[in-house]
Amino acid sequence: MNILLLGYGKMGKIIGEIAESRGHQIVGKINIDNRDDLDQLDPKNIDVAIEFSQPDAAVENISWAINRKIPVVSGTTGWLDKKPAIAALTLEKETAFFYASNYSIGVNVFFKVNRFLASLMKDQTDYKVSMEEIHHTEKKDAPSGTAITLAEGILGEIERLKEWKLSDGKPENEQSLYISAKRIDPAPGTHIVRYQSEIDDIEISHTAHSRKGFALGAVLVAEWIKDKKGVLSMDDFLSF
């Protein structure tokens, strides 16, 4: 399979290494310094684009590929206010777009555990819910896309919580789920969900040991999506 990498930072390099180890060919490695090279590529020679770039470049990169009917697997966070437009373009061009805030199989199991725990805790009003996420200092957005996905899972189950907010040290609103975002090297990603009361605490967490799990998941999805159409997610890939 011929893969175009849109974004060639640390994640892009690991994705490229894993893809090549699985017998795929990398036909382009695009970053901010060589984006003009896209115009030299033949779309017919690209089976899938894997996009792990930056929030301010994601929409342009994804649109370039979708307009040429190249399926896209995207993991960039911080741009999702534009996702409805990308979804509409995907359907118009009759290609495929796959987005996940995290491609780790373990994290996606953790998403399911998080939603199930929230469903059990929805009527336990003595418990205060909060979240903490820790990433390396090069991560641009806060909170992380994974933390936002976890928060949306909780908000979908616990009606008394109306929104998530990034913790800023001010007095907390009981109707908001507060997320503490820390940037500490070399942490690849830790997410902790806490339910705290005067009697006890309940805590679930996921800690990544490296980026390899994220990268392998992205390559597996690229292999799976090659001949598909539509707007897809990890629930489709894992049949949750």
139 is catalytic: yes
pLDDT in tens, 78-89: 899 999 999 999
pLDDT of residue 168: 81
Instruction: List the domains of the chain with CATH numbers.
Output: 2-103+212-238 (3.40.50.720), 105-207 (3.30.360.10)
Q: Is 191 exposed, middle or buried (0-12, 13-18, 19+ CB in 10 A)?
A: buried
pLDDT of residue 87: 98
**Among 24, 69, 139, 228, which one carries the catalytic annotation?**
139
Helix (H) or strand (E) holding 122: none
pLDDT in tens, 202-212: 999 999 988 88
Ramachandran region, residue 7 (left: φ > 0; alpha: ψ -120 to 50; beta: rest): left
pLDDT of residue 240: 55
**Among 24, 135, 191, 206, which one carries the catalytic annotation?**
135
Low-confidence ranges of the chain (pLDDT < 50): none
135 is catalytic: yes
